[in-house]
Structure 1
Amino acid sequence: MEFDQTTTYGVFVAVVVASVAALLVTDTMPTRIVLMMVAPSVLVFGALCLFLGIKHGEYRARGA
């Protein structure tokens, strides 16, 4: 599968939306807590993982 910038960010947004939507649908927590605390945390953690994944891919592509 070929990942370009659009595909990468699209998958990232889809994962964040799916995780927040799942919490909203299952009524695990109140909606305001999910939107005020969980959603930003998922975005930050996801962005960190995406950044580290990109850097690791660059490292592997160099053949070092």
Structure 2
Amino acid sequence: MEFSLPVAVGALLVIVAVGVGGLIAGGVMPLGVTLMMVAPSMLVFGLIAFGLGVKHGEFRAVR
């Protein structure tokens, strides 16, 4: 399966949206806390993990 950058970033956004939606629907935390603290931290962590994964894949592809 070929992934392009827009498809991969879209998948990341869908995963974050599902996680945030689950927290909102579950009533685990107040809505303000979820949207102002949890959602941005999930997005930042996802982008860091995505970047590390891309670099690791590039490293593995040439070795």
* TM-score (normalizing by structure 1): 0.94
* TM-score (normalizing by structure 2): 0.95
Which position in structure 1 is the counterpart of 2:45? 45
Q: CA deviation at 1:2?
A: 1.1
Q: What percentage of aligned pairs have identical amino acids? A: 44
In structure 1, stretches of 5+ residues that fail to align are none
List structure 1 runs of 4+ shifted beyond 3 angstroms.
none
Written as runs of structure 1 = structure 2, the 5 A alignment for 1:25-40 is 25-40=25-40
In structure 2, stretches of 5+ residues that fail to align are none
- The CA RMSD measured in Å over matched residues stands at 0.6
Residues matched between the structures, number: 63
